[in-house]
């Protein structure tokens, strides 16, 4: 006997991705030049990711995707390309909900202060 599928969880979208979260601490005894290079690389990449997540282009593309899905729902509701676009929309919603921007900002500030 199969369990009922919760609303909004169609068969093609049953994978649940947990929210991001991790805490760890590392003590470095003898920091050297290699560690400084690694920290500089992490700071640079954090900054680039934050810029990408705050991008107006990402917001505009998300809005266009939602509009396309809404306008074509009746005609293409069960076509594979339409379902693939719905998966992209679901991933973008999950990205917004997991507060990745805040976590990366905290990491950026932690490394920048050192």
- Residue 94 covered by a domain: yes
> pTM score, two decimals?
0.59
Residues 6+ apart with CB under 8 A from 98: 19, 20
Question: What's the whole-number mean pLDDT along residues 100-111?
Answer: 82
Domain range for residue 41? Answer: 34-112
Rg of the chain on CA atoms, in Å: 20
- Residue 5 covered by a domain: no
- Residue 51 covered by a domain: yes
First and final CA of the chain: distance in angstroms? 57
Mean pLDDT of the chain: 78
- Residue 45 covered by a domain: yes
Query: What tokens does 8 get?
Result: 């909004």
- Residue 20 covered by a domain: no
Contact between 92 and 62 under an 8 Å Cβ cutoff? The reply is yes
- Residue 40 covered by a domain: yes
pLDDT tens digits, residue range 5-58?
Answer: 555 555 555 555 555 565 666 666 677 777 788 888 888 888 888 888 888 998
């Amino acid at each position: 006997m199969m369990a009922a599928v919760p609303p909004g969880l169609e068969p093609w979208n049953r994978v649940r991705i947990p929210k991001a979260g991790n805490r760890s601490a590392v003590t470095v005894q003898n920091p050297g030049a290699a560690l400084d290079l690694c920290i500089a690389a992490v700071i640079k990449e954090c900054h680039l990711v934050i810029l990408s997540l705050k991008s107006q282009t990402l917001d505009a593309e998300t809005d266009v995707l939602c509009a396309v899905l809404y306008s074509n729902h009746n005609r293409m509701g069960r076509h594979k390309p339409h379902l693939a676009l719905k998966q992209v929309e679901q991933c973008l919603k999950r990205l917004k909900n997991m507060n990745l921007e805040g976590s990366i900002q905290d990491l950026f500030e932690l490394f920048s202060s050192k």
